[in-house]
Amino acid sequence: MLDASNPAACGQCHDGTPAPVPGVTSFAPGATSCTSCHDQPGGALACSTCHGSGTRAFPPRDLCFFPGDADAGVAHAAHVEPSSASASGFACSTCHPVPGAEVIEGLHGDGTVEVAFDAPLIGPEVSFDRASLACAVTCHDSGGLRPRPLWSETTPMGCNDCHLSPPLNHFPGSCTGCHAEANATGTALSGGPLHLDGRVELGNGSGECGACHGTGTNPWPTTAAHPGHENPTISAPVDCASCHPVPTSIDDPLHLDGIVHVSFTGLALARGAAPSWNGTSCSAVACHGANLADIPAVVPVWLDTSGAAAACGACHGIPPSQHTTSTSCSDSNCHGSEISLSVAGTPSITTSGKLLHINGVVTP
């Protein structure tokens, strides 16, 4: 079949052989083409010819190569077919040397099942015990209950089998807070591309702050009053550090400890303000009028997305009590183009005014 120079080469009579015989263009009457049956890419040397079923290139249960083990093919499907653990399954090269263009070459087709692990994916310290059929691979050995599964086992792997769910000394929050493909309790997976990819993936796997909270490279969460601080209607965007300690690395002490830490800095402390947070609302924050002559009319509640805390008059009077009684805010002698007035005389902050408003300085 493979040697075109052999006098009994299949290509002498049949078309579609892996090694066509040069010069033979007419074939024996009634001799079918090899590809009439072997219709997968690669023809008679397609992976599924020797091990697999149909278009599947992994051994079925009745095609095994481990001496003495009558059911050695049982775990192939669990590894290569898509599942809730891995959306695409594993490539054959994860555990075996895969041949090149010459299918029968090197370690392939020599009668022995060679196990050679893909170290970047599985880890360098891995092994396979042919006697017990036990795998010692990082895919399974991460502190779980079944660190050395046998190839012939039929019991499906669960979340606690490879790593405890949650692992020991793990962040105590909901799994969905950090992992995109797990449910909240860590008992099921959605079957995306991140699980079992050789890395511990957080969020969408981008490595950016927005992987867990935010979108893409944008770290801003979309919950509660976050959008109102990211894109305020009355000021420039608020720096995250004004309200939270910003970690420099994923494992900073105040990051991923199950607590949302609020620590006011920067403009929040302007005019000697001493802001505080009680879990639902902020008080005495300079950004919201603390230590101005007027007592703020609105206490900002974190879950309130109505915009009431950003309305003119919420932080100071219209006009402020220490201000001239004139309400011609948009007059060129006063705040000019930084303030616009509606037909009814209601003031609002313009785009250029946002850069000067709530910057810690009273700007005439």
Across the range 74-86, mean pLDDT stands at 82
Distance between first and last Cα of the chain: 92
- Tell me what pLDDT residue 69 has: 40
Would you kindly state where each structural domain of the chain is located, as residue ranges? Answer: 1-45, 220-364
User: Which pLDDT does position 84 carry in this prediction?
Assistant: 86
Contact 195, 202 (CB under 8 A): no
Please state, in angstroms and rounded to a whole number, the distance separating the CA atoms of residues 67 and 70.
Answer: 8
| pLDDT at residue 364 in the model | 65
Q: Which of the four pLDDT bands, split at 50, 70 and 90, describes residue 227?
A: very high
What tens digit of pLDDT does each residue of 185-215 get? 889 998 888 888 878 888 887 778 888 888 8
Chain centre distance of CA 182: 11
Distance, CA of 25 to CA of 35 (rounded, Å): 16
Residue 78 C-beta-side C-alpha neighbours within 13 Å: 15
Band of pLDDT at residue 62, cut at 50, 70 and 90: very low
Q: Please, are residues 322 and 311 in contact by the beta-carbon 8 Å criterion? A: no
Provide mean pLDDT across the span 330-337.
79
What does the pLDDT read at residue 261? Answer: 92
Q: Pick the more confident residue, 273 or 214.
A: 273
Q: What percent of the chain has pLDDT over 90?
A: 29
| Mean pLDDT confidence for 341-359 | 87
What pLDDT does residue 204 have? 80
Query: What number is the average pLDDT over the span 2-19?
Result: 93
30 pLDDT exceeds 70?
yes
| CB 237, CB 310: distance < 8 Å | no
